[in-house]
Amino acid sequence: MPKNDLVGTFHQFAGSPRTFRSTQLSIFQMMRRIVLLIGLVLPSFLFSQPKIKWGEVAKADLEMKTFPQDTNATAVILNDIGEVAFDNRFEMVFKRHRRVKILTKAGFDWGTVGVTYYAKEQFQRVADVEGHTFNLAANGAIRKDKLDKKSLFDENVDGTSRRARFTLPALEPGSVIEYRYTINSKPGAFRFLRDWTFQNAEPTLWSEFRADIPDVLNYVRVQQGLVVLDVNETEATPWPPTSQTTVFAKLTADGAIAGRFMSSDAGYSGLSGRRTLRDKKAEDYVRDGWLKDLAGAKLDSCKIGNQDSTHQALTTEAHFSAADYAPVAGDNIYFNPLLFGRQKENPFKRPARTFPVDYAYAFKQAYTLNLTLPEGYTVQETPKNLTLVTPKEGIKFRRVTLVDGNNVQVMYQLTIRKPHFEPIEYPALRELYDQVVAAQAEQIVLKRGTAATAGKDGAK
């Protein structure tokens, strides 16, 4: 049975996560070779492909105290290698070996691992879980603690999926952990390859994904990030992500709000939502994705649409209320019109950056609030209409506020047209985010028993 290599390698530091995802597979009776090479256009000269031996770790990795290229890092993914192979019955075997350096106590979360798999009718099963924690002893010797099989747990997720969970032992700042596992899938499970994330929230030094694919199988791929493809007789499908949320709500004189919102997530945004829904109930997905920052929020009902239709936008509709939404002070009511998804702090904290910023793909986010004001109140002050752009409009942020009687409409839109920014462009990018954070923090002020006054932008 002829096979082909599908190889992805990545050398880079902290930034936005990048994921390789495979969509539904089709079978063709063909005997021609398919080759896909994924290469990231980044400073690969900084690292050579590591030679990794299970159960052995370099002393230099244990002696590492900080990561010079990102001194805020709590951990560093030293190596992350995944392999997929098929046997003669088309049973798919996925293997993973990951090694992580723990720098601070905040990095201990990397020592707890959850592997979600489709368990209905034993369609998939997790096997061969092993792990070690390496530490330097006081005398300079390397101490190795083995993962105890009694520390392995298997828990239900949603009735069809389960999660194998374990925590590596003897974690401390300075530890190096490694683990490996296998996921075996029944014949016929080859409709999807397992998702692979090349870069995580913490710095990643080496990430590699390799699949030996039988020649009779053809995958349609969805990729993110700076990717160079060498493709023969295959199709690479771009799918621009968009996320749009529209809210219809009513505010009361005591500061409570109630209403509903509708959200549509297409492309990668929809894929990300569907992935989250594998591990969460719809109610938890809505609470964590939209209502978590809304004080006193209560979810009354929700509905998810197109969850299994990957070529359509994932839709979310929910009815909600929040008794403590808007503070009331005397005759005034104060509230932030951005109920969900506010950028509370600038993600770019360092004044300078040595490596590029990569969003992985272009995308667009839009939010609209349609709010009915309480009887007897008028708008005293509104945020001004605003447009912010980076040079050459690589990123554009817009805010528009409209007041019509006792109805207020506020629209926010963030468009990433250029997903890759060189270090020389970083100061302008950082400054834009400072302005976005400030703009999204601005409030609307209502006053009881007073005629409407002009907002900051002159709109009434």
**β-strand pairing of 3-12 with 36-39:** parallel
**Does residue 39 carry a pLDDT above 80?**
no
Share of the chain above pLDDT 70, in %: 78
**Does residue 432 carry a pLDDT above 70?**
yes
Domain segments of the chain as ranges: 3-229, 242-448
Q: How far apart are CA 434 and CA 440, in angstroms?
A: 10
Residue 261 Cα to chain centre, angstroms: 22
pLDDT in tens, 174-232: 999 999 999 998 865 555 677 777 767 788 888 888 877 765 555 555 555 544 433 33
User: Domain 242-448: which CATH class?
Assistant: mainly beta
pLDDT of residue 155: 92
pLDDT of residue 70: 82
Q: How far apart are CA 236 and CA 221, in angstroms?
A: 6
**Does residue 29 carry a pLDDT above 60?**
no
pLDDT in tens, 242-278: 899 999 999 999 999 999 999 999 877 888 888 889 8
Q: Which residues pair with 316 in a beta bridge?
A: 263, 304
pLDDT of residue 232: 35
pLDDT of residue 384: 93
Q: Which of 31-35, 321-325, 401-405 has the lowest mean pLDDT?
A: 31-35
Q: Which residue has the higher pLDDT, 453 or 379?
A: 379
pLDDT of residue 18: 38
Global pTM exceeds 0.75: no
Q: How far apart are CA 144 and CA 151, in angstroms?
A: 16
pLDDT of residue 88: 61
Average pLDDT over the chain reads 80
Closest C-alpha to 242, from 273, 287, 221, 201: 273
- 430 phi/psi in degrees, rounded to 5: -65, -40
* For residues 1-12, average pLDDT: 34
**Does residue 27 carry a pLDDT above 90?**
no
Separation of first and last alpha carbons in the chain: 72
Domain 3-229 has CATH 3.30.70: no
Q: Which of 4-8, 274-278, 284-288, 408-412 has the lowest mean pLDDT?
A: 4-8
**Does residue 315 carry a pLDDT above 80?**
yes
- Within 161-313, residue ranges assigned H as helices are 268-279, 282-286
Q: How far apart are CA 42 and CA 226, in angstroms?
A: 9
Q: How far apart are CA 249 and CA 321, in angstroms?
A: 9
pLDDT in tens, 73-131: 899 999 998 888 877 666 789 999 999 999 999 999 999 999 998 888 788 899 999 99
pLDDT of residue 42: 34
Q: How far apart are CA 154 and CA 166, in angstroms?
A: 9
DSSP state of 149: G
pLDDT of residue 218: 52
Q: How far apart are CA 9 and CA 42, in angstroms?
A: 11
DSSP state of 374: P
